[in-house]
Amino acid sequence: MKDDEKKIIEAFVEEELPSLFDYLKIPSISAQNKGIDKTVAWIVDKFKILGAAKVEKWNENDGNPVIFAEFNGKSEQTVLFYNHYDVQPPDPLDEWLTEPFEPTIKDGKIFARGICDDKGELLSRLSLIDYFNQNGGLPVNIKFLIEGEEEIGSPRVEKYVCSHAEQLSADYCIWEGGGKDEHDNFQITCGLKGIVSFEMKVATAKKDLHSSLATFADNAAWRLVEALNSLRDKDGQVLVDGFYDDIVLLDENTKQAISELDFDKDKLEKNYGLLRPISDRGSADSLVNGNTITINGLTSGYEGDGSKTIIPSRASAKLDCRLVPDQDPQKIAQLIQKQLVVNGFSDVKVDLGHGEYAFRTPLNDSFVKLCKKIGDEVYGVDNCLILPNMPGSGPAQQFNSELKVPIVMVGIHYAGSGPHSPNENIRLEDYKEGSFYLYKVLQALGNK
């Protein structure tokens, strides 16, 4: 009977999938402001067809609209889904083996930009609503918040959550993302790291100078290199006074969950094409609760072919720091600027960019426990783990601080999905199994 149920759900979503491919064909690229209206129209239309009690487009804060929808269920329980309809640019195009906006099923995988991050998950969710509609109704009330600016840092979602908090109220929140690790273990992911992005800029002269003057004229590129180097030791430890002060101690549940994670250096090196071995600082512990200071880009002076014997007058670096609870993104940027002054680099300026707090749903929350229980049933107890938080970031803390709702990520990707990369894909089996898992979760919540 249970096996039959799994087969039925999996067959349903598999059969319906090709009819939903239109969503993947629209290049909804927020960074390039492409295809937004068309994508929004597709989703709104789909919600109406599925019988939503309410569908709204919010755009009072400008930017790409947020889509809100509400479906009535048979119980008092309410689940809020967070999704985003925007995707990363497909570049570099020449590395794709299929067309990024022409979804293709091949070797048991579905290839398309956004299939993993995060369009595929919406399709699975829509398909389940359709199934429930045809089979006695939704076990819970379902709300959707679908934003269109996740790939550019969700700059406005917090505003929308604050001003629509009542409408968004829910008992549980199922986030985007989540799925299987490099050992194909299914992960119940309970949080996200925080982030602060910033730029470091320095100028040493009004214009680039001839490099013969380097015995007396300062060099912006050298200043930047020295300033950067003063912020981190060779093991990746951040050398900024106060940087680690606000980090909360891990509770026993979180420590336990980390100890159960299998951090396989060989597999990670191979999966990610690393050319250098992972050092001792690479560990399950640091992946969950470690800080990083990452140079995203360096720019200075002559970058063309051949050589040009100049002293660059300007240099800049883009950076991000991944943060953990309760580090404050803005405070972190200020501490870095302060440290630069202390280190003798008061001329190196920190321009604050995007910031997000880290977030973790407590692992002893009943929602986490229920997700784990169903995970054990669907994937097997040996293949289901709890990940206290993923190493990436997102606006979950902004949701939680306003909505006070437990948030988990229980998705359909696997270690080879390659979000943001060419040939982004998910496995059809994961799509089917992940949809069945979600079906079971919604049913269980309805019976609570």
CA angle at residue 142 from 137 to 143, to 5 degrees?
Answer: 150
Query: Which of 264, 376 has the CB closer to a second copy?
Result: 264
Q: In whole angstroms, how close is the CB of 407 to a second copy at the nearest point?
A: 17
H helix or E strand, kind and range, residue 54:
strand 54-58
The residues that bridge with 186 in the sheet, in sequence order, are 180, 384
Say which residue the tokens 């755009």 belong to.
59
Query: Which of 298, 444 has the CB closer to a second copy?
Result: 298
Query: Which of 319, 428 has the CB closer to a second copy?
Result: 319
Query: Which of 56, 199 has the CB closer to a second copy?
Result: 199
Query: Which of 317, 438 has the CB closer to a second copy?
Result: 317
**Tokens at 52, concatenated:** 């939503």
Distance CA 415, CA 183 (A): 8
Q: In whole angstroms, how close is the CB of 264 to a second copy at the nearest point?
A: 11
Distance CA 375, CA 441 (A): 9
Q: In whole angstroms, how close is the CB of 238 to a second copy at the nearest point?
A: 11
Q: In whole angstroms, how close is the CB of 222 to a second copy at the nearest point?
A: 6
Q: By three-state DSSP, how is residue 348 classified? A: coil
Query: Which of 281, 404 has the CB closer to a second copy?
Result: 281
Q: In whole angstroms, how close is the CB of 173 to a second copy at the nearest point?
A: 21
Q: Is the four-CA dihedral 348, 352, 353, 357 of positive or negative sign?
A: positive
Q: In whole angstroms, how close is the CB of 310 to a second copy at the nearest point?
A: 5
Q: In whole angstroms, how close is the CB of 235 to a second copy at the nearest point?
A: 11
- 17: alpha, beta or left, given left = phi > 0 and alpha = psi -120 to 50? alpha
Distance CA 308, CA 111 (A): 44
Q: By three-state DSSP, how is residue 398 classified? A: helix
Query: Which of 77, 187 has the CB closer to a second copy?
Result: 187
Q: In whole angstroms, how close is the CB of 421 to a second copy at the nearest point?
A: 7
Q: In whole angstroms, how close is the CB of 72 to a second copy at the nearest point?
A: 37
Query: Which of 152, 396 has the CB closer to a second copy?
Result: 152
**Tokens at 166, concatenated:** 């009542």
Q: In whole angstroms, how close is the CB of 393 to a second copy at the nearest point?
A: 7
- Residue at 50: amino acid letter: L
Residue closest to 200 by CA, chosen among 334, 352, 316? 316
H helix or E strand, kind and range, residue 349:
strand 349-356
**Tokens at 304, concatenated:** 């063309």
Residue 255: CB partners within 8 Å, gap ≥ 6? none
The answer to whether the CB of 406 falls within 8 A of the CB of 361 is yes
Query: Which of 2, 234 has the CB closer to a second copy?
Result: 234
The residues that bridge with 266 in the sheet, in sequence order, are none
Q: In whole angstroms, how close is the CB of 422 to a second copy at the nearest point?
A: 9
Distance CA 264, CA 416 (A): 15
What is the phi/psi pair of residue 326, to 5°?
-110, 45
Query: Which of 3, 303 has the CB closer to a second copy?
Result: 303
The answer to whether the CB of 186 falls within 8 A of the CB of 374 is no
What is the phi/psi pair of residue 322, to 5°?
-90, 135
Query: Which of 25, 318 has the CB closer to a second copy?
Result: 318
Say which residue the tokens 């968004």 belong to.
168
